[in-house]
Chains A and B, each alone.
Chain A
């Protein structure tokens, strides 16, 4: 009896202490989680993939009423635009018809010249179209979650919109994938200026316009220059459009992405068959051996 009583006192004492220091313990655990994330991303990455698969279906359900609200808003907003768009599209169609004939003749010419040079065509890419179910863009991160279903998606695949590169697949769950946008602080893409072929790195910094860094000091870069992927490092193939230069200052060149990253409904996740992204620790160690 005495023993049980002392045990009870002992337990209640521990409980009281735990309650008292719970906040401190939770603070330490939050810091520890950040440290683990910083040092060994694989544990967090794997846990995060599973957790994203659990949480994402709930967001997916919420998308339906949210889209409905947005569609009603869009309907009234678009009514004004329809007439203007119609005129513009007719004109655009006329020009495109002319271009189509030109492209057809160029395609034939290209094929003839390729045959002549014995040119090896690059491997065909595979892609899936995924629906964006969650997006995030603030001072801390720029990412989105897309529903991929049972389609096979791999880490490092390129995410494209109809206008160009939007990001890359960061982690993959069973039915959902997280995409890191080109504006995110973790995004570093080898790029080049389309016209001059000057190479650099497009570095996100959680603003809406990423910076162009690691470019030659004497490089002549002007506002309006188109930026495309350079294909260096083997993650992105060369020539994918990204954006255009919008400001050139002494130590800072800013690029505005072609795609409206906050307004994407669907994205294309393309597998170019490149091997620039290492899948996991095993691959890193294999590479090291």
Chain B
């Protein structure tokens, strides 16, 4: 009985770990670090986390997790409520349709895939928020943010791969 309970708890923990680790990274990305390099241009950690888990463990990061994740991002951020959820859903739509091109490929291919998908997602969000404010948002800020996000992806994926390899059971 006790073993069953332990097993169940472990299983629930493992299933929620992708969401929990992504949330932790997301919250960490908002912490003020006082690094002059990171002022105003920070990587969009949310996109990196969702991409990683949807490529590697789509069974553990479903649509509802993505919606919840986007909502938490909206709560912390001061951007229009719903815009992060929308970006995450666009990301979901793109990855679920294109993952066959990146899955089980060398890391560089997945990185290129991330660069392409992140660009489309960020541009879609930019367009939606620009319509919301009836004013075009600065593309330069978006561009730098995109570059930093793409550059930071290997580090984010390294952290998440560590979580995946050490704490989550294989998918079989």
Please give, as numbers and ranges, the residues of chain B lying within 8 Å of A34 by CB-CB distance. Answer: 80-83, 86, 128, 132
Q: A34-B83, A48-B81, A143-B78 are in contact. Are A205 and B135 (CB under 8 A)?
A: yes
What is the 8 Å Cβ interface bit string for chain A, positions 39-66, against chain B (1 contact, 0 not)? 0000010001001100100110011001
Q: Which interface residue of A36, A133, A136 has the most chain B CB atoms within 10 A? A: A136
- B63 at the binding interface (Cβ < 8 Å): yes
What's the Cα separation between A264 and B132 when bound, in Å?
A: 29
- Chain B residue, CB-CB nearest to A27: B89
What's the Cα separation between A58 and B32 when bound, in Å?
A: 14
What's the Cα separation between A141 and B40 when bound, in Å?
A: 10
B141 touches A207 (CB 8 A): yes
Please tell me the number of chain B residues within 8 Å of chain A, measured between CB atoms.
49
B36 touches A263 (CB 8 A): yes
- B9 at the binding interface (Cβ < 8 Å): no
Within 8 Å by CB of B137, from A137, A140, A265, lies A140
Within 8 Å by CB of A132, from B32, B39, B44, B85, lies B32
What's the Cα separation between A48 and B73 when bound, in Å?
A: 11
- B15 at the binding interface (Cβ < 8 Å): no
Q: A26-B89, A33-B85, A185-B135 are in contact. Are A142 and B32 (CB under 8 A)?
A: no
- B75 at the binding interface (Cβ < 8 Å): yes
B78 touches A206 (CB 8 A): no
Please give, as numbers and ranges, the residues of chain A lying within 8 Å of B140 by CB-CB distance. Answer: 207
Interface-lining segment among A67-75, A191-199, A222-230: A67-75
What is the 8 Å Cβ interface bit string for chain B, positions 51-87, against chain A (1 contact, 0 not)? 0000000000001000100101011111111110110
Please give, as numbers and ranges, the residues of chain A lying within 8 Å of B27 by CB-CB distance. Answer: 55, 58-59, 62
What's the Cα separation between A58 and B31 when bound, in Å?
A: 10
Please give, as numbers and ranges, the residues of chain A lying within 8 Å of B133 by CB-CB distance. Answer: 185
Please tell me the number of chain A residues within 8 Å of chain B, measured between CB atoms.
57
- Chain B residue, CB-CB nearest to A135: B32
- Chain A residue, CB-CB nearest to B23: A58
- B102 at the binding interface (Cβ < 8 Å): no
B141 touches A138 (CB 8 A): yes
Please give, as numbers and ranges, the residues of chain A lying within 8 Å of B141 by CB-CB distance. Answer: 138-139, 206-207
B82 touches A37 (CB 8 A): yes
- Chain A residue, CB-CB nearest to B31: A66
Across chains A and B, the number of contacting residue pairs, with CB separation under 8 Å, is 151
Please give, as numbers and ranges, the residues of chain B lying within 8 Å of A139 by CB-CB distance. Answer: 126, 137-139, 141-142, 145
- B171 at the binding interface (Cβ < 8 Å): no
B86 touches A141 (CB 8 A): no
Please give, as numbers and ranges, the residues of chain B lying within 8 Å of A37 by CB-CB distance. Answer: 80-82
A30 touches B31 (CB 8 A): no
- A31 at the binding interface (Cβ < 8 Å): yes
- A23 at the binding interface (Cβ < 8 Å): yes
A206 touches B89 (CB 8 A): no
Give, as a whole number of angstroms, the nearest-CB distance from B85 to chain A. 4
Give, as a whole number of angstroms, the nearest-CB distance from A239 to chain B. 27
What's the Cα separation between A69 and B44 when bound, in Å?
A: 20
A143 touches B77 (CB 8 A): yes
A170 touches B78 (CB 8 A): yes
Give, as a whole number of angstroms, the nearest-CB distance from B127 to chain A. 11
A26 touches B63 (CB 8 A): yes
Please give, as numbers and ranges, the residues of chain B lying within 8 Å of A143 by CB-CB distance. Answer: 77-78
- A22 at the binding interface (Cβ < 8 Å): yes
Q: Which of A87-118 contact B (CB under 8 A)?
A: none
A55 touches B75 (CB 8 A): yes
Q: Could you write out 11 A-B pairs with CB less than 8 Å apart?
A: A22-B63, A32-B82, A34-B81, A34-B82, A59-B76, A66-B31, A132-B32, A136-B76, A138-B40, A145-B30, A262-B40
7 tightest A-B CB contacts, nearest first: A262-B39, A33-B82, A143-B78, A34-B82, A140-B79, A139-B141, A139-B142
Interface residue ranges, B against A (CB under 8 Å) = 24, 27-28, 30-36, 38-42, 44, 63, 67, 70, 72, 74-83, 85-86, 89, 92-93, 125-126, 128-129, 132-133, 135, 137-142, 145
Interface residue ranges, A against B (CB under 8 Å) = 22-23, 26-27, 29-34, 36-38, 44, 48, 51-52, 55, 58-59, 62-63, 66, 69-70, 73-74, 132-145, 170, 178, 180, 184-186, 205-208, 260-265
